[in-house]
């Protein structure tokens, strides 16, 4: 997905030792973390997949060194994603990413990371909840 300049601002290089980033500021790309195919939750009336309504959590953005013309930071923390269904359905996982920055005026060059969590699913045959592992990997692409 294309990100605008404002979408990158929450990931600006942390000039202090650590900065907290609200997961809600990253919702545009975090909303893509969901089980695909038959595991998607759909609106029974429209048959459309419920979109992610909220991304919550406090993520830590910490400088992680530099090398020649580049600087690095680590983004990590727990994220809870809630869909727009009527029952406040949500799932949680740990997010970790390495962010590459160019010279101070260039800002973010790339983001590479992953999400590892669980996705609760009601088993219609056994009438009990199942906790499924949910993993996602993401990488930004150059413009």
Distance between CA atoms of residues 9 and 108, nearest Å: 9
Give 142's pLDDT tier (boundaries 50, 70, 90). low
Domain that holds residue 130: 5-138
Task: Calculate the alpha carbon distances from 15 to 32, 71, 127 in Å.
Answer: 29, 11, 51
Q: Is residue 23 part of a domain?
A: yes
Q: Is residue 143 part of a domain?
A: no
pLDDT digits (tens, 9 = 90+) for 40-95: 788 889 988 888 999 999 999 999 988 888 999 999 999 999 999 998 899 999 99
pLDDT digits (tens, 9 = 90+) for 13-29: 998 789 999 999 999 99
Distance between CA atoms of residues 64 and 44, nearest Å: 46
Q: Is residue 9 part of a domain?
A: yes
Q: State how many domains the chain has.
A: 1
pTM of the model: 0.87
Helix, strand and coil content of the chain, in percent to the nearest 5, comes to 15, 50, 35
Q: Is residue 49 part of a domain?
A: yes
């Amino acid at each position: 997905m294309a990100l605008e300049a404002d979408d990158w601002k929450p990931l600006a290089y942390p000039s202090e030792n650590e900065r907290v980033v609200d997961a809600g500021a990253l919702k545009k790309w975090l909303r893509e973390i969901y089980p695909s195919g038959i595991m998607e939750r759909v609106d029974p009336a429209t048959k459309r997949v419920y979109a992610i309504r909220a991304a919550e959590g406090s993520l830590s953005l910490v400088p992680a060194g530099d090398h020649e013309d580049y600087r690095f930071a680590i983004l990590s923390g727990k994220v809870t994603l809630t869909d727009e269904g009527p029952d406040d359905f949500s799932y949680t996982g740990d997010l970790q990413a390495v962010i590459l920055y160019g010279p101070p005026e260039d800002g973010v060059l790339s983001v590479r990371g992953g999400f590892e969590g669980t996705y609760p699913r009601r088993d219609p045959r056994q009438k009990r909840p199942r906790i499924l592992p949910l993993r996602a990997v993401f990488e930004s692409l150059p413009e």
